Amino acid sequence: MGGLRISKVYLPTTGAQDWLRLLADPEKQWKRGYSAMAAALAWEAATGMPPEIDALFRGGTELLLAIPEHKVALPGGRRESQCDVFALARIGDETIAIAVEAKVNEPFGPTVGEWLHNASDGKTARIDFICKLLGLNSPPPEGLRYQLFHRTAAAVLEAQRFKTDRAAMIVQSFAQDHRWFEDFMAFLEPFGLRPEPGIAQEYVLPSGMLLTLGWAVGSPTFL
């Protein structure tokens, strides 16, 4: 996977402040009202899975492990997909790998078209790999947000690595006006899905694994 070395040693946190050192740009990202701090406060406050994510799976989700700012290597470059939170959980008799993308006001970043502009062979290989993994045509529509593609791919790759039964990519949004939800809705169109906030959508991957995609609305308390 590109020869990347990603640490496999993780330390438990003692509170939200421990998430700070994991950020790419702490001075910019670690502020009240921003997604990084909101996610850290929400996950540290929860006794297990944050309730808005648990509700997507109709309750009863047992959190086994959560890793902040978890990096997942992808082919076609040196830059990993960095999940705001990666979680392993149990739902009934099944295990699930969950990649979480936290959001408040920050957008999802460049579109596929912008990201592929004057693309290197590596970028082309990466988008082809992601689309094949997800069972989509490559390249995908240019107006869709690239971040949602690589974050979903990260969930599937980690599900394969940990041999879980299922995979999920969840947007944990603390914006009460559902800002950027239209980008998430557009992303789900190629899957044949029409999302609603707080309701999980399911899709069967080419591998036969069930993929859950959802928009969870976090409490404004953490803003």
Q: Residue 56: inside a domain, yes or no?
A: yes
Q: Is residue 203 part of a domain?
A: yes
Name the pLDDT band for 175 (thresholds 50, 70, 90).
very high
Query: Which of 172, 215, 167, 218 lies closest to 194 in space, CA to CA?
Result: 215
Euclidean distance between CA atoms 159 and 167, whole angstroms? 6
Answer whether residue 27 shows pLDDT above 90.
no
Give pLDDT, residue 1. Answer: 41
**Residue 136 located in a structural domain:** yes
pLDDT exceeds cutoff 60 at 4: no
- Domains: count for the chain: 1
Residue 102 in domain: yes
Pairing state of beta strands 61-72 and 166-173?
unpaired
97: part of which helix (H) or strand (E)?
strand 94-103
Task: Find out whether 145 and 185 touch, Cβ atoms under 8 Å.
Answer: no
The answer, yes or no, to whether residue 2 has pLDDT greater than 60, is no
Q: Are 191 and 136 a contacting pair, CB within 8 Å?
A: yes
Q: What is the mean pLDDT of the chain?
A: 94
| Residue 3: pLDDT band with limits 50, 70, 90 | very low
Give the residue numbers spanning the domain of 98. 25-222
Q: Sign of dihedral through CA atoms 152, 160, 89, 36?
A: negative
Q: Is residue 10, in this structure, part of any structural domain at all?
A: no
Shortest CA distance to 124 belongs to which of 156, 132, 152, 183?
A: 132
pLDDT on residue 169: 98
Q: Is the pLDDT of residue 11 over 60?
A: yes
Q: What is the pTM of this model?
A: 0.95
List the Cα angle 195/197/199 in 5-degree steps. Answer: 70
Within-domain flag for 55 = yes
Please check whether residue 13 lies inside any domain of the structure. no
pLDDT at residue 186 greater than cutoff 80: yes
With 90 as the cut, is the pLDDT of residue 38 above it? yes
Whether residue 8 is contained in a domain is answered as no
pLDDT at 78: 81
Residue 6 pLDDT greater than 70, yes or no: no
